[in-house]
């Protein structure tokens, strides 16, 4: 069968650009995406339908390019506290050192992201539009953290259904009408709420600490101290973590992203000074 586009004549580049999925980049290797699907499911679609062919041959993220590391977030007395470092890794290369991964969304929400940075920036564009269009009603209503989180779960799940995931784990926190909210979504749409959450290696290294030490009535100072403890463990043991960290809070009054800071570290333990001491080798 012939492609629909062949029957209807060649479309202009502007026509193609309207739908992201049908657009064939002039620089196909610019991003790590693949033209042909590896999935047998998509292959069968490719074989059976030439109209669907344009979808199956489109480009999609098969693995991330520049990634951000863990995000850790907790509820505290007055709202939500979130922490993330500012590193952006290109594989194992530390490519960027000043990437903001905590962003306020609307009036009541705060978003933290790990994973593909470009996909995160795309999500920020989606959210900007969402908040803008909601504002245009001019009815005094505004989207709360619960609504924004639900929106994100649907976007992430929808993209996984198209076999074209947004390669992120997202943390969404916020306060509206005295209700604290803290939730997570990942790239295949798994989502939940909890009193404390952490993405990536944070789920292994930070959450056990949070389960031991978190309680509902933490003050701001105690919360920041707890997050710093988590970020310090991550800094020591997560190779892609960097010592430039942002902490952010959101309360009924709104969101504040504090300026970046560094954690005090101590590397003078004998095991750090001579890491090969315990390992008998030939040199």
Partner 1 sequence: MTKQHANWSPYDNNGGSCVAIAGADYCVIAADTRMSTGYNILTREYSKISKLSIVHSALQMHDKCVMASSGFQADVKALQKNLSARHLIYQHQHNKQMSCPAMAQLLSNTLYYKRFFPYYSFNVLGGLDNEGKGCVFTYDAVGSYERVGYSSQGSGSTLIMPFLDNQLKSPSPLLLPAQDAVTPLSESEAVDLVKTVFASATERDIYTGDKLEIVILNASGIRREYLELRKD
Q: Which is nearer to partner 1, 58 or 246 (CB)?
A: 58
Task: Kindly name the residue from 61, 153, 199, 251 that is annotated as catalytic.
Answer: 61
- Smallest gap, in angstroms, from Cβ of residue 260 to partner 1? 28
Is 175:189 a contact under the CB 8 Å cutoff?
no
| DSSP calls for 171-231 | EEEEEETTEEEEEEE-TT--EEE-SEEE-TTHHHHTHHHHHHH--TT--HHHHHHHHHHHH
- Both tokens of 140, joined, read 């005094």
- Smallest gap, in angstroms, from Cβ of residue 157 to partner 1? 5
Instruction: Give 61's contacts (C-beta < 8 A, 6+ positions apart).
Output: 31, 32, 33, 116, 119, 164, 165, 166, 167
Indicate the SS3 state at residue 146: helix
The terminus-to-terminus CA distance of the chain in angstroms comes to 66
Interface of this chain with partner 1, residues 85 to 124, rule: CB under 8 A: 91
Q: Which is nearer to partner 1, 106 or 115 (CB)?
A: 115
34 touches partner 1 by CB under 8 A? no
Interface of this chain with partner 1, residues 163 to 182, rule: CB under 8 A: 163, 165
Rounded Cα gap, residues 45 and 233, in angstroms: 47
31 touches partner 1 by CB under 8 A? no
Please compute, for residue 260, the number of CA atoms within 13 A of its CA located in the half-sphere on the CB side: 15
Which of these segments, 5-13, 113-121, 136-144, 189-197, binds partner 1 (CB under 8 A)? 189-197
- Smallest gap, in angstroms, from Cβ of residue 165 to partner 1? 7
Annotated catalytic residue 199? no
Which of these segments, 20-28, 109-117, 138-146, 154-162, binds partner 1 (CB under 8 A)? 154-162
Which of these segments, 75-83, 137-145, 183-191, 225-233, binds partner 1 (CB under 8 A)? 183-191
How does DSSP classify residue 253? T
- How many separate helices (H) and strands (E) can be counted in the chain? 10, 13
Which of these segments, 135-143, 186-194, 253-261, 269-277, binds partner 1 (CB under 8 A)? 186-194
191 touches partner 1 by CB under 8 A? yes
How does DSSP classify residue 11? P
Q: Which is nearer to partner 1, 62 or 124 (CB)?
A: 62
Q: Which is nearer to partner 1, 192 or 261 (CB)?
A: 192
Q: Which is nearer to partner 1, 65 or 247 (CB)?
A: 65
3-state helix, strand, coil in the chain (%, to 5): 35, 25, 40
CB atoms within 10 A of CB 200: 22
Residues within the interface to partner 1 (CB under 8 A): 32, 38, 41, 62-63, 91, 153, 157, 160-161, 163, 165, 184, 188-194, 203-204
| Residue positions annotated with a catalytic role | 61
């Amino acid at each position: 069968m012939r492609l629909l586009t062949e029957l209807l004549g060649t479309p202009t580049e502007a026509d193609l650009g309207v739908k992201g999925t049908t657009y064939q980049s002039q620089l196909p290797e610019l991003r790590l995406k693949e033209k042909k699907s590896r999935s047998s499911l998509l292959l069968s679609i490719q074989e059976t339908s030439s109209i669907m062919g344009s979808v199956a041959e489109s480009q999609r993220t098969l693995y991330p390019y520049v990634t951000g590391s863990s995000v850790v977030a907790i509820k505290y007395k007055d709202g939500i506290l979130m922490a993330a470092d500012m590193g952006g890794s290109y594989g194992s290369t530390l490519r960027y050192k000043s990437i903001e991964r905590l962003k306020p969304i609307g009036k009541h929400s705060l978003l933290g992201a790990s994973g593909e940075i470009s996909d995160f920036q795309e999500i920020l564009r989606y959210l900007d539009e969402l908040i803008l269009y909601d504002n245009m009603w001019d009815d005094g209503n505004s989207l709360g953290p619960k609504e924004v989180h639900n929106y994100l779960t649907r976007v992430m799940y929808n993209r996984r259904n198209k076999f074209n995931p947004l390669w992120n784990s997202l943390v969404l926190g916020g306060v509206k009408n005295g209700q604290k909210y803290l939730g997570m979504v990942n790239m295949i749409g798994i989502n939940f709420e909890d009193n404390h959450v952490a993405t990536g290696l944070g789920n292994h290294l930070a959450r056990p600490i949070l389960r031991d030490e978190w309680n509902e009535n933490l003050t701001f100072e105690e919360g920041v101290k707890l997050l710093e403890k988590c970020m310090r463990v991550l800094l020591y043991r997560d190779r892609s973590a960097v010592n430039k960290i942002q902490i952010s809070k959101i309360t009924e009054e709104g969101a504040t992203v504090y300026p970046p800071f560094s954690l005090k570290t101590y590397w003078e333990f004998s095991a750090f000074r001579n890491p090969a001491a315990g390992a008998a080798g030939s040199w």
